Amino acid sequence: MTAEGRRPSLGGRFNRSHMSRLQSATLERLYRTAYGEDYPAEAQPNAFVSRTTLQRLVGALHVGPGHTVVDLGCGHGDPGLWVARRQ
């Protein structure tokens, strides 16, 4: 409940959930241990996604300068930004 006694919005709960996952040292250790050198730390994934998976996505999209990459409903968006920067 908020200070006003209202239940937090769905968007607020979603954002809080993602922020706590992104700031979890335990999850970070799990991801790094599971993927080793293939862990894309610079993409700040909040799920099990490897650098290899992201690189395959880059190759499959066939986009480049001047194109638009849209990452909808995929969490905080950093893996999508990682892909877009590779184009």
Report the 10 Å Cβ neighbour count for 45: 24
What is the spatial distance between Cα 28 and Cα 8, in angstroms, rounded to a whole number? Answer: 27
Burial class, 46, CB count within 10 angstroms (exposed 0-12 / middle 13-18 / buried 19+): buried
pLDDT value at position 87?
66
Instruction: Return the domain boundaries, the chain.
Output: 10-85
Determine the pLDDT at residue 3. 58
pTM for the full model? Answer: 0.59
Q: What is the pLDDT along the chain (87 residues), one digit of tens a residue?
A: 555 677 888 878 877 777 777 778 888 888 889 888 988 888 877 777 888 988 898 889 887 778 887 877 767 778 888 888 886
The dihedral built from the CA positions of residue 36, 75, 8 and 3, taken in this order, carries a sign that is: positive
pLDDT of residue 84: 82
Of 63, 73, 65, which Cα lies nearest the Cα of 18? 73
Closest CA to 18 of 84, 77, 83, 85: 77
